[in-house]
Amino acid sequence: MGTPNKMDELIICSHCDLLLKRPALNHQEIARCPRCQSVLRDRPKSSLPYSLSFSVACLFLMACALYFPILAIEKAGTSHIMYLFQASWGFLEHGYPLLFTIVSSVLFVVPVLILLILIYLLFPMLILKRVWPASLLLSKVLFQLKAWSMIDVFLIATLASLTKLTSIANIEFGLGLWAYLLFAIFLAAALANLNSARFWDYLEKVQCHCKIKQQHHKV
């Protein structure tokens, strides 16, 4: 134990530090730690290519969700249309810049960054079989940002506020709301298919291939 080659055959449980042999998993199988029962490794049906395609779709849907109004309200002749970006803008207008920063980070900045980084990393890795500059740094950023996207939470909040609102006034759903709904589902799918163990293994493999190719060119 301890030599670099043998170390690739090992994994460590992130919850209890137990040393284990790397399990061989079939599709949709999950390996759990025998000591603390937390998930060690999982294997979604088709991991990284799905993640890439969902991310591309997400970018288009997010553009639609931002461009079209998501909700419209009408009461006694007065009406108001709401766009997605206004969800955080209202806080800034009413004197809560910190709240504006928090909400726009978890709703717009983080998800968009995640999507852009995912495409920047996965497109060359999967299709061109090479890596673009700063991939390592961006991968690290990606896995740290992952927990801070709250698009799915906002979806539940939309449903909650709709039931609150329908008793007060007439509510109309805009095209943006449907785009947003799909966006939330697709982003969840993109992240669910982003298996961190597979991603890092694959990144390492592609980097290795690139180095070998370069050496061949030099010879």
The residue ranges that bind other proteins (CB under 8 A) are 1-2, 7-8, 10-12, 14-21, 23, 34-38, 71, 73, 75-76, 78-80, 82, 86-91, 94, 96, 98-99, 102-103, 106-107, 136, 139-140, 143-144, 147-148, 150, 153-154, 156-161, 163-165, 167-169, 196-197, 200, 204
> Are 48 and 66 a contacting pair, CB within 8 Å?
no
Closest to other proteins by CB, 160 or 210: 160
- The minimum distance between CB 103 and other proteins, in angstroms, equals 6
Q: Which helix (H) or strand (E) holds 102?
A: helix 97-104
Q: Which residue has the tokens 């592609």?
A: 206
- The minimum distance between CB 92 and other proteins, in angstroms, equals 10
Sign of CA dihedral 127, 148, 155, 102: negative
- The minimum distance between CB 76 and other proteins, in angstroms, equals 6
Q: Can you tell me the distance from the alpha carbon of 182 to that of 179, in angstroms, rounded to the nearest whole number?
A: 5
Closest to other proteins by CB, 30 or 157: 157
Closest to other proteins by CB, 73 or 185: 73
- The minimum distance between CB 10 and other proteins, in angstroms, equals 5
> Per-residue DSSP letters for 146-208?
GGG--HHHHHHHHHHHHHHHHTTSEEEE-HHHHHHHHHHHHHHHHHHT--HHHHHHHHHHHHH
- The minimum distance between CB 34 and other proteins, in angstroms, equals 5
Closest to other proteins by CB, 22 or 60: 22
Q: Can you tell me the distance from the alpha carbon of 104 to that of 199, in angstroms, rounded to the nearest whole number?
A: 28
- The minimum distance between CB 160 and other proteins, in angstroms, equals 5
- The minimum distance between CB 215 and other proteins, in angstroms, equals 20
Residue 170 pairs in a beta bridge with 74
66's CB contacts (< 8 A; 6+ apart) are: 83, 84, 85, 176
Closest to other proteins by CB, 28 or 77: 77
Angle subtended at Cα 160 by Cα 156 and Cα 162, rounded to the nearest 5 degrees: 115
Closest to other proteins by CB, 36 or 175: 36
Quote the distance between the C-alpha of residue 103 and its chain's center. Answer: 17
Closest to other proteins by CB, 56 or 155: 155
